[in-house]
Structure 1
Amino acid sequence: MSSAATAAAAASASRFRVEPATMRRLLGLALLILWEVLPRAGFIPSLFLPPLTETLRALVAGGGEYLRHLLLSLYAIGLSMLAACGIGIGAGLLIGSIAPVRRVVQPLASGLYAVPLVILYPLFTAWFGIGPQSKIVFASIYGLLPCFLGTVAGVQTIDRQYVTVARSMKASRWQMVSRVLLPAAIPTVLSAFRVGGALVIVGIVVAEMLTSTEGIGYLITRYRTLLESPRVSAGILVVVALVVAFDSLVRLLERRTRHWRLSTRSA
């Protein structure tokens, strides 16, 4: 009887179990409802957080302006992400496979990552001006270190037998990186790409908010100065949508590279 009762309880629990994706959607829907209800009810001043409907109305009314500045931000984000993630992941795979170099470079990169790079942004503006060059360089460096450190850590978790077999087959350094290290470390590499790419987006928006005359961050700062809260919230909503879209892209890459992980495990 006890086993039958346990099985029935387990079946009942599985019947009412909510999938993680469904839970995320419900949580997002609840946040949107609270965004609309709390300011309307007076729990949050509209100056600090306008209702969702007013935010969407401001976004639609200024759609052309937001789109123009979003394209400028996307251009800077694309260049910065290409530099940060490309150089960071490539250098992480290469340096992570060379133990003597890794022992020297990894502690230095970890120490630099602990430094808040935002305090160095005035130096970038002095060197590159207040145009797109300064924010691109700043965001590239901001996202490069986590990509590099995450990739190096992923290389260290690879089974050494893969490396030994590749060396016994006289694989070149490029073959070692592209056909052994990258497929075996792809989960950690994508995690590093997720963190580094998100920091690139943050770096671009922060740079635009500090010293820029274009981009979504600039719009947020301008409308904040004018105390136009709905337009500020509209800009923040655009940034949130951009981050969610980037996360969805990384999830798509994880699904597309799943066969790499499976083939590595079977090997």
Structure 2
Amino acid sequence: MAGALAGGSPMRRALTALARIRGSLLLLWVVTWEALVAATQVPDYLLPAPTRVAQELWGRFSLLLPHTAVTLGEIGLGLAAAVTVGGLLAVVMAHSLLLNRALYPLLAFVQAVPKVTVAPLFVIWVGYGVSSKVLMVFLITFFPIVVNLTAGLVLVEPDLLRLVRSYRATRWQTFVKIRLPYALPYFLAGMRIAVALAVVGAVVAEFVGADRGLGYLILLSNAELRTPLLFASLAWLGTIGVSLFGLLHVIERWLLPWSPEVGPEKVQITGF
């Protein structure tokens, strides 16, 4: 217990120092921005000062809230679909080397296509409603979920698999008791990436065709030269993205306090 506390103290100090560095850099950036705007007397419609953006964010918060609810709904539905379909596909790809080799190039091709070029097609196919935005979020978040979960399912220690097989564990028991828990850190790491991408996907889809949502509000502010509102919307959107990312990281640390950060590794598909 004493060793754990001793090991935790340097970690806390490191995290505190990192937070201070980030806060200092952010403060320096904001102060520099404010000073440059004040010194050059740039008009608001070109570049508002941070204080002006903060005033707009506070004063227009009631306007931002309903648009925020729409965008968050699109993100939630798209992520739910990506987790469901991507999870099932990851199990299939981890189970079969042949299917993995057949499907992986197709997934990479879809991921390589610029998503902004696909957004107009979704509008044509399903209209200007929420469905086209959900499809975009699904498309942009599907790949990291599938890849990370597949990696987690196949990168189980061979000695551990041999051990459970020596006890005559069934394939289902091996999956539930060994592979799935082992894959959970990889899945949550993929979800952190997917959440950040989901915000981008929802806004891109709203740029193409929408009458509500934060992406729509940004376009409207730009068209009407309401630059302070545009910056306030961008700042709020960034806050949402960082908050969702941080929330998933907290959930990961809570569920898996024993797990180190999952880094990029080369995956060798061997099948179950």
Aligned match for 2:110, one of 112, 115, 120: 112
Pair 16,148 (structure 1): closer, same or farther in 2 beyond 3 Å: closer
Partner SS for 1:180: helix
- In 1, Cα distance between the equivalents of 2:96 and 2:19? 40
**Contact kept? 2:195, 2:241, Cα under 8 Å:** no
Q: TM-score, normalised by structure 1?
A: 0.83
Amino acid at match of 1:56: A
Corresponding residue of 1:77: 75
Give a deviation string over 1:6-62, Cα, whole Å, max 9, x none.
xxxxxxxxx999832322222222233233223222286643431111111112222
Cα deviations by residue, 1:161-213 (Å, 9 ceiling, x for unpaired): 33333444454555444432232233322221111121111100111122100
Decide which of 14, 17, 26 is 1:28's aligned counterpart: 26
Q: Do the aligned partners of residues 234 and 183 (structure 1) sit closer, same or farther apart at CA in structure 2, a change above 3 Å counting?
A: same
> For residue 179 of structure 1, what is the aligned residue in structure 2?
177
Q: Distance in 2 between matches of 1:156 and 1:38?
A: 53
Equivalent pair of 2:192/2:249 in contact (CA under 8 Å): no
Instruction: Provide the C-alpha distance between the structure 2 equivalents of 1:19 and 1:186, rounded to a whole number of angstroms.
Output: 29
Indicate the residue corresponding to 1:219 in structure 2.
Answer: 217
CA-CA distance at 1:120 after TM superposition: 1.4
Q: Kindly report which structure 2 residues correspond to 1:188-227, keeping only aligned pairs within 5 A, or say none.
A: 188-227=186-225
Distance 1:105 1:168, change over 3 A: farther
- Which structure 1 segments of 5+ residues have no match? 1-14, 263-267
TM-score normalised over the length of structure 2: 0.81
Counterpart Cα distance in 2 of 1:198 and 1:16? 25
Larger RCO: 1 or 2 (CA < 8 Å, sep 6+): 2
1:127 matched to which residue of 2?
A: 125
Q: Secondary structure at the match of 1:214?
A: coil
The Cα RMSD (Å) is 2.6
Query: d(CA) in 1 for partners of 2:94 and 2:241?
Result: 29
Mapped to 2, the partners of 1:97 and 1:151 lie a distance apart of 12
SS of structure 2 residue aligned to 1:227: coil
Cα distance in 1 for partners of 2:165, 2:194 equals: 31
CA distance 1:72–1:170, change in 2 (3 Å): farther
User: In structure 1, what is the Cα distance between the partners aligned to 2:39 and 2:45?
Assistant: 14
Task: Count residues with an aligned counterpart.
Answer: 248
**C-alpha distance after superposition, 1:64-94 (max 9, x if no partner):** 1101110111111111111123432443244
Counterpart for residue 99 of structure 1: 97
Separation (CA, whole Å) in 2 of partners of 1:67 and 1:236:
14
Match of 1:239 among 231, 237, 240: 237
Sequence identity percentage: 30
Change (3 A) 1:106 1:247: same
Query: Which of the numbers 27, 36, 39 marks the counterpart of 2:37?
Result: 39
Closer, same or farther: CA 174–222 of 1 in aligned 2, 3 Å = farther
Q: Is the 8 A contact 1:109 1:149 kept in 2?
A: no
- 1:8 aligns to what? none
AA matched with 1:209: F
1:79–1:136 contact (8 Å) kept in structure 2: yes
